[in-house]
A and B are shown apart, each in its own frame.
Chain A
């Protein structure tokens, strides 16, 4: 995945494959693309999501009830393409499902199905050697994370980053937060010094004010829990034929409202 550094800050939404139902994932992705998403992060449900807070944990449970799993999530990507999703798609999966599928087979599937990148939140730099090698061979970006605790680790992680570099905004798991740490700005500036790829920020971002503040310091803004929470609120309306379109419109408007500070969006 080649992303060029532009002045435009990217909108990178996260949704969980199969939540609230595998059929609706495609339409949610399209709504996000309409709302101006630049990259889609597609989550794969895992029984023990250590980096996720309660909102994504609930999304995981719903998706698991519909028997969503890693190969099915990968196979969803060509379906998304066929239905008109054109933006790059990053697969967000924990490491154990990848191990069970087999690392080489995982990248075979990823490549075959046109996945642009993978992000494994519990695979730190030191353990990621074999995965990086395979992702490079497959021509798929392996997204790295840096956290506020990374400090002296930032340089080595940033210098080998592919696709974009994911900055974890604050200590903790995914979720919606009212406030972000004061040091976030200087943390992002430091990361940008070392990074050759765009620097995106995520974890906790849930208001347009936060988006407005962060757009000056980052090349991309990742929003997950806030969108999943909105989807939870829409609930059954997303599942019934007669209310679905209206609910999807509301979901899209919410995404547009959150990201309004990023400027007028146009469909790619």
Chain B
């Protein structure tokens, strides 16, 4: 492979790095060292692949969505079905990788942050499976938005700690998880859920999510005898997108990341970090983020709790800066429309996060030739969103709007 980021300091070009309190430097160095050893150890690799297969049900399907392809009368649409994973989203890939690493390092307690609750559920799940304790930090606002996932985590035996600071969403949950980690870094393992945070997390999470792209590439080649022309994924922190894009970086394939435009990127209510953000440091990493002129981090907004994050993985910032990946954004309304369309036309209820990737794909395909194909990462299933969307359709309060207004 030509692409070699990050360097030994955890920099993707100028992005990334380790901007953390001194207390965490040694724990990070330990993780870095152990990760390197683990990745070079065939036993670890086998354990990881076996767990993905036997416990999570991988490989996940590649589904050709015939009805929508016909409807839009353009490029073929294929979905990489991460929604079919155990626990319902791609998050489990990373959780399995990190819990195996934690086990190798002799840690028995996991810390996790969660937005939509998908990573929290994945962390709680692997904690149960591998006999570890798990404490999940979740913004109080997200707890309201994602009641079902909160209950799932508790059923799985995890402790869910509500976070009351800031906007009470993912950013604040991450702050609190990091503070807890600083206090307990001697015996806890911090399991970050996305390609964010200080080095080596963005690299580690990429390594545990690239299975999405590796599988999809092979499956697509088998089906079509070529690579797709375009690959699309939604981007909050960006782990499903990095996992999907990474194996295609050296190929002649257009890569598109889709951010949450919320109520519109011309309003203050969005989470379109690359589209609208500027360079800065958040959660230990130099990347693009939403901030004011004095470097105070702004509260993002999206209907989707999983995309409601003011930063983005540093590798995305880098890929945007070199023009390798194109970043677009879609609004709440467009995502909701795509959500319904996939449900009605194909019998698949996507996560509202993944519906952002679909919405952009549906805009794109009519303009592409019929012999071309677009691969979309369907990062998760929409069961968790059904309640919120039901309330919305009943004309009830706009659940997502409550968090910002």
Binding site for B on A (CB under 8 A): 46-48, 50-51, 53, 57, 64, 69-71, 94-101, 121-127, 144-151, 153, 157, 168, 171-173
Contact = CB atoms under 8 A, between A and B. Distances in A.
Given A96-B280, A96-B281, A124 B18 contact: yes
A71 B293 CA distance: 11
B149 to A, nearest CB: 24
A171 B183 CA distance: 5
B37 interface: no
B25 A149 contact: yes
B171 A171 contact: no
B293 A145 contact: no
Given A50-B21, A122-B20, A171-B182, A100 B295 contact: yes
B17 A100 contact: no
Contact of A122 (B9, B19, B26): B19
B370 interface: no
B297 A96 contact: yes
B22 A124 contact: yes
B183 A96 contact: no
Given A48-B297, A50-B182, A149-B23, 14 more contacts: A47-B296, A50-B20, A57-B165, A94-B295, A96-B291, A99-B279, A124-B20, A144-B22, A145-B21, A149-B25, A171-B182, A172-B23, A172-B179, A172-B182
A153 B26 contact: yes
19 contacts: A48-B171, A50-B179, A51-B182, A71-B294, A96-B280, A96-B281, A96-B297, A97-B296, A100-B278, A100-B294, A122-B284, A123-B19, A124-B22, A146-B22, A147-B21, A149-B25, A149-B27, A153-B26, A168-B23
A30 to B, nearest CB: 27
B337 interface: no
A51 B19 contact: no
Contact of B23 (A100, A144, A147): A147
B117 to A, nearest CB: 22
Nearest to A122: B19
Contacts of B165: 57
B41 interface: no
A97 to B, nearest CB: 4
Given A50-B178, A173-B183, A101 B25 contact: no
* B18, B21, B171: most-surrounded residue (chain A CB, <10 A): B21
Contact of B183 (A46, A126, A157, A172): A172
Interface in B284-343: 284, 291, 293-297
B332 to A, nearest CB: 24
B369 interface: no
B265 interface: no
A121 B166 CA distance: 20
A127 B183 contact: no
B249 to A, nearest CB: 26
Contact of B26 (A123, A150, A172): A150
Contacts of A123: 19
A47 B310 CA distance: 12
Interface size range of chain B in the complex: 35 or more
Interface of B: 9, 17-27, 165-166, 171, 175, 178-179, 182-186, 278-284, 291, 293-297
Contact of B25 (A98, A100, A150): A150
Contacts of B282: 48, 96
Contacts of B297: 47-48, 96
Closest 8 CB pairs of A and B: A100-B295, A97-B295, A172-B183, A147-B23, A69-B294, A47-B296, A96-B295, A149-B26
B182 A173 contact: yes
Contacts of B20: 50, 122, 124
Contacts of A100: 278, 280, 291, 293-295
Nearest to B25: A124
Contacts of A71: 294
B22 A70 contact: no
A122 B279 contact: no
A69 B182 CA distance: 26
B175 A48 contact: yes
A148 B184 CA distance: 12
A127 B23 contact: no
A95 B281 contact: yes
B179 A53 contact: yes
Contacts of B294: 69-71, 97, 100-101
B25 to A, nearest CB: 5
A151 B26 contact: yes
Contacts of A168: 21-23
B23 A171 contact: yes
B21 A122 contact: yes
B295 to A, nearest CB: 4
Given A149-B27, A153-B25, A153-B26, A101 B182 contact: no
A51 B296 contact: no
A70 B296 CA distance: 10
Nearest to A52: B179
A147 B283 CA distance: 19
Most buried by A among B24, B185, B280, B281: B281
